[in-house]
Amino acid sequence: MGSARHPQSVGLKRGTFAIYVKIKSPIEQYGGDSGMSWFQTQKMMRKVLFSLLPIAVFSIYAYGYRVLWLGLFVFSAGILTEWLMERRHKKKVSEAVLVTCLLFTLSLPPGTPWWVAVVGIVFGVFFAKEVYGGFGRNIFNPAIVSRLFVYLTFPNLLTTGWIAAGHFGANPVTSATPLTLLKSGKIPELADLFLGLRAGSLGEGPIFLILIAAVYLIWTKTASWRIMLSTLLSGLLLSSLFEWLKVPGALNALPAILSGSFLFVTVFMATDPVSAPKKTASLWVYGSIIGVTSVLIRTFSFFPEGMSFGILVGNTFAPLLDLMFSKKKAVVRS
């Protein structure tokens, strides 16, 4: 509950004490409406878009102009969905939806039908963002919800027909993903994984560009290095432990971390400032939850990839983690 004396605080009464936790509004933290543009000006989101551009360009080189075609449908449907919801409150579309659309597009397989992509982005923007009240109020990452929804709803379309990265997709050749190769006991070339010369989703391949983006986002204080590091270390350590113990289904640790969407999701989705916790201690636990959950699903479930589930579980615990690690300020009532 709120308080008249503390309009931006959450109060918890206990005897003669009132405990308040300071909460910043979404506009305070991540930017807000300004100027005469069609979108809310959000500098943080623009930095994320800037960091994703080289990866988007690489995806066009790897898979051809189908990436632009798919992106056109995703951006159109995503922006329209948010505009239809926000116009009722006379609000502008947030620039965050551009990040959501680009992340979702880059997380899709090259052969994804355009209508599947449209269904996914509409579902994610509407159910994971707008039903909670729009930007800054959503609990779950909309791009992850979009991805997971189509992944579970259209498994035959989203888990088959992978093609190797080529010169603008001019000669698409069906190829197994690195995670599929690891499951069958084969070890992909680390150089191919690092350079993105392998089958996979549109933007998860070029590890070198993802790492450059990570450095940029950390340097500009756009994304939390604590979340990135805790997610990476927890995933790597648990994968190494399972490999050492020869657990059935365990993958070779280093190639597994470089395969699939582990690093892509770690850098761009785990660090979403809205759905992630805010407290410093919470960030370490949050990242560890994501890394551990992802490896457990990769190892013991029928799903070859677990990062989307890891983010969803992490988002679920984020508010609780902040509550657990909040420095509560006791105020004696007169």
Rama region for 249: left / alpha / beta (φ>0; ψ in -120 to 50; rest):
left
Percent of the chain surpassing pLDDT 70: 85
**261 contacts 108 by C-beta, under 8 angstroms:** no
The H or E element that residue 293 is part of is: helix 280-300
Least confident interval from 68-82, 104-118, 217-231, 318-332:
318-332
pLDDT tens for 67-92 read: 999 999 999 999 999 999 998 888 88
The lowest-confidence range among 5-14, 33-42, 72-81, 261-270 is 5-14
pLDDT, tens digit (0-9, with 9 covering 90-100), for 129-146? 999 999 889 999 999 999
- Distance between CA atoms of 93 and 90, rounded to whole angstroms? 10
Is the confidence at residue 36, as pLDDT, over 80? no
The separation between the first and the last C-alpha atoms of the chain, rounded to the nearest angstrom, is: 20
Read off the DSSP letter of residue 92. P
Q: What is the pLDDT of residues 102-124, one digit of tens each?
A: 999 999 999 899 999 999 999 99
Q: Which has the minimum average pLDDT: 5-9, 97-101, 168-172? A: 5-9
Structural domain boundaries of the chain? Answer: 28-325
pLDDT given for residue 154 in this prediction? 94
pLDDT on residue 304: 81
**Under CATH, which number does the domain 28-325 receive?**
1.10.3430
**pLDDT above 80: residue 217:** yes
Pairing of strands 9-14, 17-22: antiparallel
Query: Mapping DSSP to helix (H, G, I), strand (E, B) and coil, where does residue 327 land?
Result: coil
Q: Dig out the tokens for 303 from the structure.
A: 């799903």
Q: How far apart are CA 298 and CA 250, in angstroms?
A: 8
